[in-house]
Chain A
């Protein structure tokens, strides 16, 4: 438990640090935060008034403490463009993005690890080089370009999949999804509204694939490399010397050893998933936080930007925290350290 406690405390510290960075980015860097706040067109007088109300004239540390309290109380400020509370904007869009990330992570893990393991099994042979090229292409593929290509090919030319959007528009009328958890596809599954589920999945395929490309590449390369490294270690030689079957050695002994580093990479690759949503949601105009983030970035909607950055940091920390727990379960050495 002691390990858990200091993991939690270090996560909290990092969160604090992250909020400090977003604060400095927003308040310190731009020459006049007030202008940034109300937009360049406003008059000097309005800006001056605003500066007082926002307390921008106080010394930075006090502003920071005030900012912290507000954030904790849920007052993440008001989005300039939509005039709604930032927190509200985010919570309404969160489900769409989370579902997209979950599916993308699913694809990446499923495809990445299986192909990585397969490539390691047939090292040096034809399958190995094909998978290696596929993986390195995945890592080198700009997500926005891949999105456009898939859109043009599968949605445009072949029309197998819808080009944009989370659901068909008419779905709202003939098969509305009753909101339970707020996650559309998940709710539709629970409520048995399989028609909506199917439609949702149909929309999900292309964006999720696009988003998962980078992580797929990362995971399959890591899985392959790790497995090969474990296969060269002494204990595999010993297992062979004791007549254990090649299958048992590869799939049980070696794979279990290669899992912890693969799990770590999954944690790391989630960073690319989070930022990836910015582009994928734009290309498929997916109603998630990604597109909202891009708009607020372009319109320098600073409260929204601060909120999104904080959310992303929390999300990334959460995923890495979970990864740590899983890893300590998989590898006894880690837990006892």
Chain B
């Protein structure tokens, strides 16, 4: 795992991610004002600028912004892992079947995925969450709906490459049952491109979830959600600039770190040239 610290950029990204994960897990114990983090308002000291007492200042309901951001880490990580996790599982399953079986199943799965991919994926999620009703879980489902096709297509392409390799043909010729071939040979050899895609997607999902929350279709107040917090500070941007700026910064850093990690992973596994 030494590639995590192979150059300055990647090591900074790894540190950010480390911080992000620890905040997500131990948030409540680290946050200076755990109650406010969870949502209790404290009206009398609203709009305090960043200072000693409240490092990042307080929001319109007087809650300490730093604790709110710390509390916001958990849902952000959760939605990223959940969306990418489910999307990857569904996509890999369908991609493997399409890739190995071929024939009409392959066509059906690929046509459906292409259909989903012919939409700007975020739009699909927005529409889905509107009809599902706002909320973190619905946002999660909406994102999964528009995300699985990327994985289906990726795994299908990689699976058909591996399927044409001699070692698969030999196993098939020996009479190894299809199921074992898919699990033992194909799945184990598509994991590399899968991991690289997952790492790159984690960031993009946080970005998408943040956008949903910003419009108000993600988790609802008073829960601490970075996208929501940016929206809440939107109209105060000229005076109480810190509310939107710092919560937005949290999203940006998390997404940036994941993207850099994605690049590092790609270089590690396919060192030829750093490609997008």
Q: Report which A residues bind B (CB closer than 8 A).
A: 14, 17-18, 21-22, 25-26, 29-30, 36, 129, 132-133, 136-137, 139-145, 148-149, 151-152, 156, 218, 221-222, 224-226, 228-229, 232, 265, 271-272, 274-275, 278-279, 282-283, 293-294, 297-298, 300, 302, 305, 309, 312-313, 316-317
Contact = CB atoms under 8 A, between A and B. Distances in A.
B60 to A, nearest CB: 15
A46 B123 CA distance: 31
A140 B252 contact: yes
B115 A275 contact: no
B216 A152 contact: no
B126 interface: yes
B276 interface: yes
Given A21-B115, A229-B273, A298-B215, A140 B122 contact: no
A271 B207 contact: no
Contact of A142 (B120, B128, B255, B258): B255
B190 to A, nearest CB: 22
A300 B127 CA distance: 9
B120 to A, nearest CB: 4
Interface stretch (B34-42, B66-74, B78-86, B238-246): B238-246
B164 interface: no
Given A140-B252, A275-B122, A298-B215, 13 more contacts: A29-B128, A29-B131, A132-B274, A142-B248, A144-B231, A148-B245, A221-B276, A232-B273, A271-B119, A271-B120, A275-B211, A278-B211, A279-B215
A309 B123 contact: yes
B139 to A, nearest CB: 13
10 contacts: A25-B128, A29-B131, A136-B263, A144-B210, A145-B248, A221-B276, A271-B121, A278-B211, A297-B130, A300-B130
Given A151-B237, A297-B130, A300-B131, A144 B214 contact: yes
Interface of B: 9, 114-116, 118-124, 126-128, 130-132, 203, 207, 210-211, 214-217, 227, 230-231, 234, 237-238, 241, 244-245, 248-249, 251-252, 255-256, 258-260, 263, 272-276
B203 A140 contact: yes
A140 B274 contact: no
Contacts of B244: 145, 148
Q: Which of A136, A143, A145, A283 has the most CB of B within 10 A?
A: A145
Q: Which 9 A-B pairs have the closest CB atoms?
A: A145-B248, A271-B120, A225-B275, A140-B255, A140-B256, A275-B122, A17-B115, A221-B276, A228-B273
A229 B274 CA distance: 9
Contacts of B126: 275, 278, 293, 297
B118 A156 contact: no
A206 to B, nearest CB: 13
A18 B118 contact: yes
Given A14-B114, A139-B259, A140-B259, A25 B127 contact: yes
Nearest to A129: B9
Contacts of B245: 145, 148-149, 152
A136 B119 contact: no
A148 B237 contact: yes
A279 B258 CA distance: 23
